[in-house]
Amino acid sequence: MKSGPWLLLVACAALCRAGQQREFPPPELVDARMIWSRAPHNAFTDLLRFKDRWYCVFREGAAHVSPDGVIRILTSVDGEVWLPASLLAMLDADLRDPKLTITPDKRIMLTAGAAQRRGPGVLHQTYAWFSSEGRGWTPPAAIGDENFWLWRVAWHMNTAYSLGYSTNGTSFVRLYASRNGVSFSTLLDKLFDRGYPNESAFLFLPDETALCLLRRDGAEPSAQLGVAKPPYRAWTWSDLGVKIGGPSFLRLPDGRIVAAVRLYDGGARTSLCWLDPERAELTEFLRLPSGGDTSYAGLVVHDGLLWISYYSSHEGRTGIYLAKVRFPPPTKETKKRVSF
């Protein structure tokens, strides 16, 4: 049994971690309100700030799962008044889970999965659209392989990365990469294949370390955290020990990592969590006004606030919500109290 200096080191490390958590005052929910609810079911959001405008994208349909899904894009100058910008539809397909990102050549890239209604064979295909201003869009371009859902695309160093999950009965995720956002090649055929892995999000740290937050369902419904260094072919995975849905995460200017996920214990809700990649821990710190059919958040840091788009049915109608959260900086007093 270890003792003496080793136990003292462990105790000091624990105190330092506790001190770091106390160093920052608690986050504050500044606002949370519904911005859209015109369709019978409005869900699966993402949020983007581009050329001094806001863009919020989501699916409209008759229900959570229905054959009539279309993609609605709203835009706003101030984040208060939201107006329709465009509507994307596809014949014989239910468009789902739209995501937004900015390409290296300064265009909006929108991706979504198409659940096909054309009989057996191809069940799903992921598509990409491009726009210079969020109103006019290119024709859809099929990306990745048939029956693989490239759930979210992240650009890093002029390369687009995406994790595609199999939708034809096999349970694994495939890592894709692209230099132009249209032609995606397989970087790793089977990146993770334990349980039923599916939805994911990427985050690239300043030292180019890649983090992957991965949802997992089935018999082992616990989220996974993947970590890799360039060229992102060797990954280490840790079990976060909690069931999540609709993962999204980013790094705050102070270095802390915030994830927005659906949590299930004690009732479904959309919550913000701290992610500690070194300890592989996901810790809830703020439940957004939400419940029932909810989740799929978009995250943007702007003007000292974290802006969050998400959907929820807690007010009786499944609508699109926008929340703002402030993260107060550490004060001189708290810095004095936690200096070790």
Q: How confident is the model at residue 121 (pLDDT cuts 50, 70, 90)?
A: low
- Judge contact between 148 and 165, C-beta under 8 A: yes
- Judge contact between 217 and 195, C-beta under 8 A: yes
Q: Quote the DSSP letter at residue 44.
A: E
- pLDDT score at 333: 53
* pLDDT at residue 17 is higher than 90: no
* pLDDT at residue 165 is higher than 50: yes
Compute the chain's Rg from CA coordinates: 20
Instruction: Please name the residues in contact with 142: beta carbons below 8 A apart, sequence gap of 6 or more.
Output: 125, 126, 127
- Section 185-201 average pLDDT: 97
- Section 34-48 average pLDDT: 98
* pLDDT at residue 235 is higher than 80: yes
Alpha carbon distance 129, 242 (integer Å) = 34
Distances 117 to 42, 59, 69, 125, 129 between C-alpha atoms, Å: 21, 17, 12, 11, 20
CA angle 21, 25, 30 (to 5 degrees): 125
Instruction: Please name the residues in contact with 333: beta carbons below 8 A apart, sequence gap of 6 or more.
Output: none
- pLDDT score at 173: 98
* pLDDT at residue 1 is higher than 60: no
Single out the residue of 315, 325, 324, 309 nearest to residue 59, CA to CA.
309
Alpha carbon distance 85, 71 (integer Å) = 11
* pLDDT at residue 163 is higher than 80: yes
* pLDDT at residue 216 is higher than 60: yes
- Judge contact between 131 and 110, C-beta under 8 A: yes
Q: How confident is the model at residue 120 (pLDDT cuts 50, 70, 90)?
A: low
Indicate the domain borders of the chain.
Answer: 26-337
Q: What is the mean pLDDT of the chain?
A: 91
Q: How confident is the model at residue 3 (pLDDT cuts 50, 70, 90)?
A: very low
Coil, strand, or helix at residue 114? strand
- pLDDT score at 332: 61
Q: How confident is the model at residue 250 (pLDDT cuts 50, 70, 90)?
A: very high
- pLDDT score at 123: 87
- pLDDT score at 7: 39
Fold of 26-337: Neuraminidase (2.120.10)
Distances 83 to 40, 70, 151, 319 between C-alpha atoms, Å: 18, 17, 26, 15
* pLDDT at residue 19 is higher than 80: no
Coil, strand, or helix at residue 235? strand
Percent of the chain with pLDDT over 90: 86
- Section 27-36 average pLDDT: 98
Q: What is the pLDDT of residues 124-154, one digit of tens each?
A: 999 999 999 999 999 999 999 999 999 999 9
pTM across the whole model? 0.91
Query: Residue 134: phi, psi to the nearest 5?
Result: 85, 5
Q: What is the pLDDT of residues 42-87, one digit of tens each?
A: 999 999 999 999 999 999 999 999 999 999 999 999 999 999 999 9
Q: Which residues pair with 320 in a beta bridge?
A: 36, 311
Whether the bond into 84 is cis, omega within 30 of 0:
no
The residue type found at 95 is L
- pLDDT score at 156: 98
Single out the residue of 323, 326, 327 nearest to residue 47, CA to CA.
323
- Judge contact between 146 and 159, C-beta under 8 A: no
- Section 230-234 average pLDDT: 98
- Section 37-46 average pLDDT: 98
Percent of the chain with pLDDT over 70: 89
Both tokens of residue 44? 């699966």
Q: How confident is the model at residue 330 (pLDDT cuts 50, 70, 90)?
A: confident
Q: How confident is the model at residue 328 (pLDDT cuts 50, 70, 90)?
A: very high
